[in-house]
Amino acid sequence: MSFVLVQVIVGGLLLGAVYALFSSGLTLVWGMMNIVNFAHGDFVMLGMYVAFMVFTLFGAGPLVGAPLATIVLATLGVVVYFGLIRSIMKGPMLAQILGTFGLALLLRYSVFWWFGANFLSLPQNIVGGTYAVFGLRIEASRLLAGVVALLVTLGLHLLLTRTSLGSKMLAVAEDATAAQLMGIRPDTMQAIAWAIAAGATGLAGALIATFFYIVPTVGETLGIVAFVTVSLGGFGSVPGALVAGLLIGVIESLSAYLIGAVYKDIVVYALFLSFLWFRPQGLMGKS
């Protein structure tokens, strides 16, 4: 195997970890409430702008920006749940789609109005340059995002499977009425789920901002990958999103290198569709 090929695969894994990171929030909301959050990509975008603001106002990097983005977005998640989601959940599926889509446009064009259409960027070395390991080049910012992706996935998985809060959330997801009869408040649980999901998404945005450009429409560019990652991984499965993200990242990188960048999406989506043909519930989803 040629040396460059190893670099391509490493690059793909790091890319995939980032895909997994910004998909975890989506899969949580999707799995918990059966709501497709079309504003997900724009939550990532908001996280990126929080990181940018933290840098311009305080000169601080992701060490401050990432926690702050998590808190800001988690708060927004709760506000969105009580202000919008709770009411549109009672409506038909179409209302949910249009509701979150409207939210996406509202967020996008508010940022557009406030920050303008210019492309912004954090300084290249805000996390600390590039490491050369046996001649392989690994960007510190991507490595950080990859490690955080693993930690977030592990954390969410443990939360859902090992804690009473997680059990309560899953109970609400299973049957809200039955859960209520057991003394669990569905509203509270779902608001917590939104806070966690949006917070994780904000965290992802703040970390992606360290190596990607920032622009109001960036959610469009990143959003589609999140939906593919979640459906390949299995709706609601957090570890599934991680595996799917890594798979997509490596397939994208390899096909771009071996066949040509312009064909990589064809390869990814063809494999994705044929996989769903055999396993519509995704890699780790429940059938």
Partner 1 sequence: MAFKHVLKLLAVAAVTVACAGAASGDDKVVKIGAIFPMTGGAASAGVHAKFALEVALDIINNAHPELGDFPLAKNAGLAGLGGAKVEVSFADNQGSPATGQNQALRLITEEKVVALTGAYQSGITLTTSAIAEKYGIPFLNGESVAANLTERGFKWFFRVTPVATDFAKIYSEFLADMKASGARTDSIALVHDNTEYGTSVAGTITQAFKDKGLNVALDVSYAVNATDVQSQVLQLKEKKPDVVLMISYTSDAILYAKTMQALDYKPPMLLADDAGYSDPSFIKAVGKSSQGAFNRSSWSVGPPGSTTAIIADLYKKKSGDEMDDTAARQMQGFFVLCEAIDRAGSTDPAKIQAALQKTDLKPNQLMMGYKGVKFDDKGQNVLASGVIIQLQDGENYVAVWPKANAEKAPVMPYKGW
Output 189 or 268, the one with its CB closest to partner 1.
268
| Candidate list 252, 272, 283, 284; residue touching partner 1; CB under 8 A | 252
Quick one: 13 or 173, whose CB is closer to partner 1?
13
Output 217 or 281, the one with its CB closest to partner 1. Answer: 217
Would you count residue 262 as binding partner 1 (CB under 8 A)? yes
CA-based angle 62:110:203, to the nearest 5? 25
CA 88 and chain centroid, separation: 22
Single residue of 101, 112, 227, 275 touching partner 1 by CB under 8 A: 112
Bridge partners (DSSP) listed for residue 58? none
Which candidate, 274, 5, 234, 24, places its Cα nearest to that of 136?
5
From candidates 57, 90, 114, 118, binder to partner 1 by CB under 8 A: 118
- Per the CB < 8 A criterion, the answer to whether 121 and 213 are in contact is yes
Binding piece for partner 1, criterion CB under 8 A, among 40-48, 177-185, 195-203, 257-265: 257-265
How many C-beta neighbours within 10 Å does residue 169 have? 25
Strands (E) located in 79-222: 130-133, 136-139
Smallest gap from residue 218 Cβ to partner 1 (A): 8
Given the complex with partner 1, which of 30 and 52 has the nearer CB atom?
52
Question: Residue 137 — φ and ψ, nearest 5°?
Answer: -100, 125
Please report, as residue ranges, which positions from 178 to 197 form the binding site for partner 1 (by CB under 8 A). none
- List of residues 6+ apart from 41 with CB closer than 8 A: 104, 218, 219, 220, 221, 222, 223, 224, 226
**Least distance (Å) between residue 252 CB and partner 1:** 7
Tell me how many residues contact partner 1 (CB under 8 A). 40
| Secondary structure of 105-131 as H, E, C letters | HHHHHHHHHHHCCCCECCCCCCCCCEE
Query: How many Å apart are CA 22 and CA 152, to the nearest integer?
Result: 10
**Residue closer to partner 1, measured from CB, 9 or 36:** 9
Q: Minimum distance from CB of 167 to partner 1 (Å)?
A: 36
**In this structure, what token pair is assigned to residue 33?**
């409430």
Please say which residue, 78 or 120, places its beta carbon nearer to partner 1: 120
Q: 11-50 mask for partner 1 (x: CB under 8 A)? A: xx--x-----------------------------------
* b/e map 277-287, b = 16+ CB within 10 Å: eeeeebbbbee
The reply to whether 269 sits near partner 1 by the rule CB under 8 A is no
Choose which of 154, 213, 270, 279 interacts with partner 1 (CB under 8 A).
213
Residues that bind partner 1 (CB under 8 A): 4, 7-8, 11-12, 15, 109, 112, 116-121, 124, 130, 137, 139, 142, 211-213, 215-217, 220-222, 225, 249, 252-254, 256-257, 260-262, 264-265
